[in-house]
Amino acid sequence: MNIKLVVVIIFLIGRIGVLEAEDNFIFPAPMERTDINQKFIIDSNTYLVVPNKGDKGFQDIAVLLQEEIKRYCGVELKIKEEKGIGGSKGAILLGLLPESKLIERNIVAVKINPVKKLEGYVLYVDKNIALVGGADVRGVYYGVLTLLQRIYKDSNVYIAGTKIRDWPHFEYRAMRLSLPRGKPRKGETDKSYFKNFLRALSFFKMNYAMIEGFPWAVPLKKRPGLNWHDPLTLEEVKEINAYGNKYFLKMCPTIASAPAAWAVRFYPQLIEVAEGEDPQNLKTWGYRKGKEANRQNLCPSNEESYKLLFDIYDEMTGMFNGDVVNIGIDEVHHEGAGSRWAVCDRCKNKDPVKLFADFVNRLSRYIIKKGKTPIINSTVLIKEHGGYFKDLYKAADLIRKDVIISNWSETHIRHGKGSRKVEGFKSTEYFKNKGFKKIIHLVSAGANWNDREELKEVRGKLDAYGVVVAHYSGMNFETLNNNGTLRELIFSAENIWSPDLPAMGSEDEKKQLGYAYTMLREILLNNKMFMEAIEVGRAKQQNPAGKGKGAEFH
Ligand SMILES: [Zn+2]
C-alpha cells in the first residue's frame, strides 16, 4: 500500500476516534486554549514527575492525580522526582515555572510562554508528553484539574492533546459556608456533605472558603458560653481546616463583630443601649416589627468589648489558617432592629462617626497584627445604602485603607426583582475614590435567573479584587438549590475565572453550565471523585434528553 495513503488512513482513524470520544468541556473555560489532535496514552509505563516528593503541596496534587487515574482506569502511576529521571517521554510533569528546568525546556521547544499571573498555569499535552507548569503551587493544582477534564477512554486511556495558558481573572474567589453542627438537626447537613462542598468549590477553582459557624458551631474555649448549639469538637474543626487546605482552599473565619446580637444573652452589660433601655428587650419597629431585636452592638467605649472580640479572633484564627478574616460591621445602622450607636453614658458625648471609625480601625489593626487582612462589609459606609444612620457613612473617609471592602453591591447593581437601584451610583468606583484598594462583591443567591443581571454587570468589567457567593439558609443541598445558591455558585465560578468564556447566553455556555451543574450534584450528593463526576457530566450533556437534573440547567 502507498505509504501516503496509510498515513492518511491512520490520520482519519485517529480523527474519528477523537471526534467520537471527545467533547469540549473544561470548566471553568481556560483563558487560552488550542487543542492538538494527538493522544498521550496512559498505561503502566506512564509516570508522574514532581520537583520534590517532600513538598506537601506537590505530594497532595500528585496523589490526587494518581488516585483519580487509578479509579478511572486501574493504572497506578508511579511518582518520581525530577532530578532522578533521564528523559521526559511518557511522563506527566508537574512543576513551577521558571524553577523546573525540565518543564521550561519543554515549553520553549513547543513555543509556549509561561503564565506569570498568580495561580496561573500552562498545560501542554501531545503524544509524547503531558506537563503542567504553574506560576505557583495552586496554579499547578488548577492545571491538574484541567488535565483531568482532558482524560478520555477509547481502546486506550489517554489525555487529549492541548495547549492551554490559563489564569484567574479575579484573585479572590470565595463562597460563604456555614459549618455543620456537632449533631446535625433536621434539614442540616452532616460533615461529609460539608467536605464534599469544599471539594466542589476547589474543583470549580474557587480559592477561599469563608467559614461561618461562630458562635453556634465553633468550639470556643475562652468563651464557651457563646456556643449554644452542639458545637463541633476542636479536632473536628481542625480536620475540616486541614481538609480544605488539602484542596488548596484558604479557610477563613467570618465573625460578626458588629452587630453582635450573639452577645446579648451572655454579655448584656456590654450591649450599647441608652439609659433605661433593656438590651434583652429592645423595642423593634419598621420592617422588623414584631420580631426580636437582632442588630444590637457592643459598646465601642468599653474595653471589655474588645477583650471579648479579641478572644474570639484569637481562637478562630487559630482554627482556620487562611489569610483574611471577615469581621462584619455591615448592619450597625438598623436602629429599628435594635442597633444603637453612641447612646450609652460612655459614648453619648462622642462623635458617632469617629467612634465608629476608631472601632473598625482597632479591630482591623488586631487582625493585621496577626499577619492577616481584615474584610469589612460595606453597607453602612454607603449613604445611598442606608448609611445615613448617625452619618456613619462618613467613616469611610477615616477607616484605614488596607482593609478589603466586601460590597453588598445593592446600590451599584440591582439585587433581585423589583429592588432599588441608584442610577449613576457605582460602588466600586466610590470605594476606589475613597482610597480602598481591594474591593470584593458579594453575590447573593436568587431564586431565578433574573438575579444573574447582577453578575452580568460584574463580569470582567469591574476593577475588583474578587467575588464572594453567599446564601441565607442552612447548608442543605436541596435548600441551597431552591434559593438559587448552587446556580449562583456555578455561574460565579465560571465568570470569576474567565468572564465571558463561553459568551453569555450562548449555546456553549448552556452546555458548559449544565456540565458543571451535573458534576456539582455528583460530587455533593453522590460522593463522586472528580473523574467520576466528569464522566457523568459529559454523558449528561451528550444525552440531554436523559433523566435527572443538569441537562435542563437553564
Ligand atoms: Zn457605649
Per-residue pLDDT at 7 exceeds 90: no
By CB atoms closer than 10 A (0-12, 13-18, 19+), residue 113 is: exposed
pLDDT digits (tens, 9 = 90+) for 60-69: 999 999 999 9
Per-residue pLDDT at 22 exceeds 80: no
How far is Cα 354 from Cα 356, in angstroms, rounded to an integer? 5
Question: What pLDDT band is residue 480 in, cutting at 50, 70 and 90?
Answer: confident
Distance 318 CA to ligand 1 centre (A): 29
Distance 314 CA to ligand 1 centre (A): 24
CA dihedral 239, 241, 242, 244 (to 10 degrees): 120
Q: Mean pLDDT of all residues in the chain?
A: 87
Q: How many C-beta neighbours within 10 Å does residue 246 have? A: 17
Can you state the percent helix, strand and coil of the chain, rounding each to 5? 40, 15, 45
Question: What pLDDT band is residue 411 in, cutting at 50, 70 and 90?
Answer: low
Distance 337 CA to ligand 1 centre (A): 18
pLDDT digits (tens, 9 = 90+) for 302-331: 999 999 999 999 999 999 999 999 999 988
Of 469, 217, 202, 210, residue with least CA distance to 322? 210
Percent of the chain's residues with pLDDT above 90? 60
Assess contact for 176 and 212: CB atoms under 8 A.
yes
Q: What is the pLDDT of residue 191?
A: 76
Of 421, 427, 325, residue with least CA distance to 379? 427
Distance 179 CA to ligand 1 centre (A): 32
How far is Cα 11 from Cα 358, in angstroms, rounded to an integer? 71
- ∠ CA 392-398-402, nearest 5°, is 120
Distance 290 CA to ligand 1 centre (A): 26
Question: What pLDDT band is residue 515 in, cutting at 50, 70 and 90?
Answer: very high
How far is Cα 208 from Cα 72, in angstroms, rounded to an integer? 28
pLDDT digits (tens, 9 = 90+) for 372-381: 999 999 989 9
Distance 349 CA to ligand 1 centre (A): 10
Q: What is the pLDDT of residue 192?
A: 81
Question: What pLDDT band is residue 10 in, cutting at 50, 70 and 90?
Answer: very low
pLDDT digits (tens, 9 = 90+) for 250-275: 999 999 999 998 998 899 999 999 99
Question: What pLDDT band is residue 545 in, cutting at 50, 70 and 90?
Answer: low
Per-residue pLDDT at 2 exceeds 80: no
Distance 407 CA to ligand 1 centre (A): 27
- The amino acid at residue 453 is E
Distance 360 CA to ligand 1 centre (A): 14
Q: Which helix (H) or strand (E) holds 407?
A: strand 404-407
Write the DSSP symbol of residue 389. Answer: G
What single string gives the DSSP state of each residue in 311-325? HHHHHHHHH---SEE
Quote the strand ranges of 408-451, DSSP E.
439-444
19-166 homologous superfamily: Chitobiase/beta-hexosaminidase domain 2-like (3.30.379.10)
Write the DSSP symbol of residue 336. Answer: G
How far is Cα 165 from Cα 33, in angstroms, rounded to an integer? 7
Beta strands 130-134 and 121-125 are antiparallel
> Among the residues of 36-182, which ranges form H helices?
56-73, 101-109, 137-148
By CB atoms closer than 10 A (0-12, 13-18, 19+), residue 13 is: exposed
* From 231-240, 345-354, 460-469, the region with the lowest mean pLDDT: 460-469
Per-residue pLDDT at 408 exceeds 80: no
Q: What is the pTM of this model?
A: 0.91
